[in-house]
Amino acid sequence: MEIYLDTANLAEIREAASWGILSGVTTNPTLIAREHGADFKAIITEIAELVDGPISAETISLDAEGMVREGLEYASWHSNVIIKVPSTTEGLRAVNQLAWHGIRCNVTLCFNAVQALLAARAGAFIISPFVGRVDDTGVDGMALIREIAGIYRQDREITTKILAASIRHPRHIVEAALAGADIATCPFKVLQQAMRHPLTDRGIEQFLADWKSRSAS
């Protein structure tokens, strides 16, 4: 399973990219807004220069015509840019039209398996089920990933990748991989948490202490 970073913060992207683990980046209007009025095109272009993989830029139009217009513009900024559209019928229409132009789409805000099936049929490059937000409703978000993976596996024509979005904690990453996700997009904080373990810290301390005692003897 590939790891994407779910952020528009360049410092976080630079740091995670330096670990050698990043295969792509996802942004959304909320994440862009957190970057204090920074220019959308400038942020997306810089991310696309930093990470050599799909960089999701999200449309804000509600109609297919607007999504396609935005998508054509964003995709012209850099070859790594892919276009995020919502899981709506207008989104499906936009995916289909953008695919005709050779532009890849990430269909976002997916909350059921039928949305995922139709997005794949329309030609989506990525489907983004929001596991954390499904969990928030009291339903198991990972069950949705499993359902989609089962449906996609049965249909050889489907090449759409399943991206587990709305990842809230390190265990979500493990569960997404086991459930059949192709990608997990993670907040930077969750990746940091995932690499921390008290026994790792204690082990390092112990090894250093033993090493020092050896040099002293």
Interface positions with ligand G3P (CB under 6 A):
6, 26, 28, 130, 132-133, 165-166, 185
> For ligand G3P, which is the closer residue by CB, 4 or 152?
4
> For ligand G3P, which is the closer residue by CB, 97 or 109?
109
CA distances from 112 to 90, 115, 129, 165 (A): 17, 6, 8, 13
> For ligand G3P, which is the closer residue by CB, 97 or 162?
162
Considering the complex, what minimum distance in angstroms separates the CB of residue 56 from ligand G3P?
Answer: 8
For residues 53 and 199, what is the distance between their CA atoms, to the nearest angstrom? Answer: 34
Identify whether 161 is a catalytic site residue: no
> For ligand G3P, which is the closer residue by CB, 28 or 87?
28
Considering the complex, what minimum distance in angstroms separates the CB of residue 132 from ligand G3P?
Answer: 5
Q: How many CA atoms lie within 13 A of 137 on its CB side?
A: 11
CA–CA–CA angle 149, 150, 156 (5° rounding): 85
> For ligand G3P, which is the closer residue by CB, 97 or 106?
106
Q: Which of 41, 84, 161, 189 is catalytic?
A: 84
CA distances from 171 to 2, 62, 68, 150, 187 (A): 15, 34, 36, 21, 13
For residues 25 and 191, what is the distance between their CA atoms, to the nearest angstrom? Answer: 13
Considering the complex, what minimum distance in angstroms separates the CB of residue 9 from ligand G3P?
Answer: 12
Considering the complex, what minimum distance in angstroms separates the CB of residue 183 from ligand G3P?
Answer: 11
* Long-range residue pairs from 109-118, CB within 8 A, at least 24 positions apart, any chain: 110/144, 110/148, 111/87, 111/144, 112/144, 113/144, 113/147, 113/148, 113/151, 115/87, 116/148, 116/151, 116/152, 116/160, 116/162, 117/148, 117/151, 118/92
Considering the complex, what minimum distance in angstroms separates the CB of residue 209 from ligand G3P?
Answer: 40
Q: Which sequence positions are flagged as catalytic?
A: 84
